[in-house]
Amino acid sequence: MDFWFSIGSTYTYLSVMRLDRVEQQTGIAFSWQPFNVREIMREMGNVPFADKPVKLAYMWRDIERRARHYGVPFRGPAPYPLQDLPRVNRLAVTAFAQGWGKPFVRAAYRHWFERLEDPTRDETLPGLIEALGRDPVQALAAADSPQGHDALAAQTRAARELGVFGAPSFVVDREVFWGDDRLEDAIAWSRAA
């Protein structure tokens, strides 16, 4: 099953933190696919929270309740939106190509949700990479290269072509399930197929 996500999506935190356990419990393998959800949302004029304070407050409360339900840590509202969503996701694509994708995505989310700091800041990103035993200068150069830009754009194009418009989304065959709260529906669909 494909797990489409963008670092910067708040609900994706829940999926990132529980997906390995779900994988063990269900035997379903998830293929992690970073893309630029902000680009697709901008095209669609879809602004779910940023200018909607009541809905934003609800989102944090809902994430808090769901995190508790899943046994995932929650320390309170994290900085939102992230300053540089495209760059951290270019880095994620680079990291997956080099075999350190999942640890990087988890480290970014932990920094964001446990330290409550934006992980995409220039003073933060190199440290996150270095802590994983990777060279931040090389990794950032790759992510910022024309190839790094192209790689994220290709992922975003693939997501758009599938009809993915939000993160996280789970895709079984071409059936799209949008939201961490649709993961169980996607699993049931996958089993019935």
User: By the criterion CB under 8 A, which residues form the site for a copy of itself?
Assistant: 44-47, 51-52, 54-55, 57-58, 61-62, 65-66, 69, 163, 165-166, 176-178, 181-182, 185, 188-189
User: How many other CB atoms sit within 10 Å of the CB of residue 74?
Assistant: 19
At closest approach, how far in Å is the CB of 36 from a copy of itself?
A: 16
Q: At its nearest, how many Å lie between a copy of itself and the CB of residue 55?
A: 6
User: Where would I find the H helices in 98-165?
Assistant: 101-114, 125-130, 136-144, 146-162
Distance CA 146, CA 107 (A): 25
Helix or strand holding residue 34 (H, E): strand 31-34
Cβ proximity to a copy of itself, 5 vs 104, nearer residue? 5
Shortest distance in whole angstroms from residue 44 CB to a copy of itself: 5
CB of 178 to a copy of itself, least distance (A): 6
Output 61 or 75, the one with its CB closest to a copy of itself.
61
Nearer to a copy of itself, 148 or 179 (CB): 179
Q: Which is nearer to a copy of itself, 57 or 131 (CB)?
A: 57
User: Nearer Cβ to a copy of itself, position 97 or 188?
Assistant: 188
Start-to-end CA span in the chain (Å): 12
Of 139 and 176, the one with the shorter C-beta distance to a copy of itself is 176
CB of 149 vs a copy of itself, minimal distance in Å: 24
Peptide bond into 77 cis (omega under 30): no
3-state secondary structure of 144: helix
Question: Which strand (E) or helix (H) includes residue 54?
Answer: helix 53-70
CB of 56 to a copy of itself, least distance (A): 10
Q: Which of 111, 110, 92 is nearest to 102 (CA)?
A: 92
Pairing relation of β-strands 169-172 and 31-34? unpaired
